[in-house]
Amino acid sequence: MKNEILNYDHQLGPGFKFNLKELHDAKVLNINMVKKLINQGELEYIKIGNKIHISRFELVRYFSDITKNCDTEVTITNYSEQLPLGFKFSLRELEDERIIDVAMAKKLIKTKKIAYLKIGNKLHVSRNALIGYFNDNTHRKDIK
């Protein structure tokens, strides 16, 4: 019998990425275990500012890899498939979609770590800039 419980993507709840506290509070993984898995090279992480985040994609991949004795196939997607559709996102939309909060987006723009568009008096980030930023800041091993 195929097991629907193994649909990890739907079980994680909303969000493109999760910080360590969110993973702990949701009882997905505790903080020490996440750090251990990162240091062992079993989980990739995204560093945004000083915070460590794990993408939905990486969590689904990890749980799929460690699932044993099961016929269910789990589909894994990449950052491009995880982000909502659209050419650009306002900073408020980024926060509403739980991609990145407004304050952090402003900090990344100010420090020139992510490209932005200024339309009228509003700042926007293109989908491609987000994908590039997350790809560039995804690491395996060595939490600093």
Helix then strand then coil, % of the chain, to nearest 5: 45, 20, 40
21 and 70 inside one domain:
yes
11 and 74 inside one domain:
yes
Which range marks the domain in which residue 110 is found? 88-135
Question: Each residue of 18-53: pLDDT tens digit?
Answer: 999 998 888 888 899 899 999 999 899 999 889 999
- 141 within a domain of the structure (yes/no): no
Radius of gyration of the chain (CA): 16
pTM (two decimals): 0.61
DSSP string, 35-53: HHHHHTTSSEEEEETTEEE
73 and 102 inside one domain:
no
70 and 100 inside one domain:
no
- 73 within a domain of the structure (yes/no): yes
- 37 within a domain of the structure (yes/no): yes
Average pLDDT, the chain: 79
